[in-house]
Chains A and B, each alone.
Chain A
């Protein structure tokens, strides 16, 4: 019985996301038609590089929103990751520097998670305060854009070859699948949907929330590391716009604000939509004012379609 129930659930979730997939696919086709170079190695590499940091922060945001939380510190964590990478890499070499970046994200994430879970404070307020502290920290570490990333790392991650990046994405998605198969992953959904019921069925709700925050923080600083590699340097305010965009991507992807509802693939599709939209509008030659309007319309359509089709799709 188990497999059939599993696939039933998967099918229902995918069906709700079909309209979003449709819009993303349509835009990808239009983009490929307007710019055939997309299908070259370098073209694919550059496009995935544009998408990758947003995909990472969308995952980071989605994990928190599945627990019923939200993070306003995504952008400052990205900046922190970027400046830690750019300031340490010269002295410590790439491996230590990357570990420092990941540790910074894990530690700050776990700390905010502990405050949220143990003191029972709203995530939105804790992460708002956190965004000021972390953003300030990034400015102290690197007051003015600078630092450096080893050129080989930039070339591997953000050069003319998409393989490493696509490989990383696949690894992350597999990692997420694996996490969901562990008790910790199941607890994530349970704690988000109904924390009291989850607690009564023996789930360590606090630990689950703290783990979610820690993973989320690490994904954000990883995005910062990537942005630093992509740009070859660090910038203490580079992440600012990621906070809002991560929320937009995740909500587009059908993750609910109340927790326990939504999928990672939805969040990834949402981030892909936001990325491909910008390129399509460029190649259509739209003036910026029209771009704002078109962007709004595409987002509304992507969100509204499931509801419009909802009646017909309902089981």
Chain B
């Protein structure tokens, strides 16, 4: 039913495009979805943040600010406007509507809900505004581009690493982010796909906590009391792993192989405890890349709706190179891999 409805919308949008092109045959040929070619540089960019308080978001906003500053120098961006929905998808809809009302040229969005923004984003797209979704993605494809780090692949790779590290046999805990949130559900779905193929791996318990170390530490502490034999912790979020390692330490239990994210505290504990570890990341520069991609699309370069970013991974071997740069990042922040416009361009170019 949903598919039918989506294809109906797609048809309506498509026929809308056709009419628009027939009405204005002289306009520059639009190469990217939503972009009509009528907007000229320098472009105004709106950054519709879902919640500005978490450190991950502050770091992400920093990368957007510095990318916007660089694009300003290149004469491509006039101003960057930032909103904060304070965690509410409804407020985010309201703020994106305001960005449409203010006729911004581009909107970057970290979605508070995978589906709730569909209609307002389509409305922006219909006005010729380049909409770029990153981090928490929207399900809809009626936008200029989605910058995708495959959350399912994240889960699959983490689970594969864990299964191989334990030689396919052992008891594990699975730490998830909040229930009902797409990123968290998708990472879990990917992990479960793999774990099904390893009957020797037994899931003792699963947790759902916010992506914060304190609640994760509490949850793992409780599990440590009830579970005498834990061989690995499959954590699907960085701050969760830090909380888990702290829980092991506080109880004097020997730490076990663990997956995680590029959360600075986890990387430091990983080195300190000497565990076998694996971490993926949702690099903060996805925000900077979103700004870059928006400007490219508005400037007439072809941008595909799905822009795939290969999942960056940290292993026991590459851990030192990340820790060497730790001092440049906040203590409760995320140590991301280096980035540049050239890197973004290479991701845009690949199919």
Q: A: which residues have CB within 8 A of B?
A: 35, 37, 43, 46, 50, 53-54, 90, 139, 143-148, 151, 154, 158, 227, 230-238, 240-242, 245, 275, 278-279, 282-283, 285, 287-289, 291-292
Assess whether B139 is interfacial by the CB under 8 Å rule.
Answer: yes
Q: Does B176 contact A (CB under 8 A)?
A: no
Asked if A235 and B185 make an inter-chain contact with CB atoms under 8 angstroms apart, the answer reads no
A54 contacts across to B, CB distance below 8 A: 90
A236 and B2 in contact, given A144-B185, A241-B86, A241-B87 (Cβ under 8 angstroms)? no
Alpha-carbon separation in the docked complex, A259 to B348 (Å): 60
Which residue of chain A is the closest to B113 with respect to CB atoms? A235
Could you list 22 A-B pairs, sorted by A, with CB under 8 Å?
A35-B101, A37-B101, A46-B101, A90-B1, A90-B2, A144-B180, A145-B180, A146-B139, A148-B1, A231-B93, A231-B117, A233-B115, A235-B113, A235-B115, A235-B180, A238-B113, A240-B87, A241-B87, A279-B94, A282-B81, A282-B102, A283-B102
Q: Closest B-chain residue to A86, C-beta based?
A: B115
With both chains docked as a complex, state the minimum distance between the C-beta of B59 and any C-beta of chain A, in angstroms.
15
Q: Does B5 contact A (CB under 8 A)?
A: yes
Residues of A near B62 (CB, < 8 A) are none
Inside 8 A of A278's CB, which chain B residues have their CB?
91, 94-95, 98
Instruction: Give the number of residues in B that approach A within 8 Å (Cβ atoms).
Output: 39
Query: Could you mark each residue 62-102 of chain B with 1 if its beta carbon is under 8 Å from any beta carbon of chain A, else 0?
Result: 00000000000000000001111011111101110111011
Contact of A43 (CB < 8 Å), options: B5, B86, B101: B101
B49 within 8 Å of A by Cβ? yes
Q: Are A232 and B118 in contact (CB under 8 A)?
A: yes
Q: How would you classify the secondary structure of chain A's contact residues: helix, strand, loop or mixed?
A: helix
Q: Is the CB of B2 within 8 A of A147?
A: yes
Residues in chain A near residue B185, CB distance under 8 A: 143-144
Distance in Å from the Cβ of A244 to the closest Cβ of chain B? 10
Does B119 touch A at the CB level, under 8 Å? yes
Quick check: A145 and B116 within 8 Å, CB to CB?
yes
Expressed in whole angstroms, the Cα–Cα distance for A154 and B93 within the complex equals: 15
- The CA-CA distance from A236 to B114 in the complex, in Å, is 11
Give 5 nearest A-B pairs by CB, closest first: A288-B84, A241-B88, A233-B115, A231-B116, A90-B1
Instruction: Say how far A46's CB is from chain B's closest CB, in angstroms.
Output: 5
A288 CA / B82 CA spacing, docked (Å) = 7
Contacts of A144 in B (CB 8 A): 114, 180, 182, 185
Is the Cβ of B94 less than 8 Å from the Cβ of A285?
Answer: no
Q: Are A288 and B116 in contact (CB under 8 A)?
A: no
- Contact residues in B for A282 (Cβ distance below 8 Å): 81, 83, 95, 98-99, 102
Contact partner of B114 (CB less than 8 A), chosen from A90, A145, A232, A283, is A145
Which single residue of chain B is at the shortest CB-CB distance from A139?
Answer: B180
Measured CA separation A128–B96 after assembly (Å): 32
Closest Cβ of chain B to A154, distance in Å, is: 7
Q: Taking the complex as formed, is B52 at the interface, i.e. its CB lies under 8 A from any CB of chain A? A: yes
Q: What B residues does A43 contact at CB under 8 A?
A: 101
CA distance A55 to B91 in the complex (A): 14
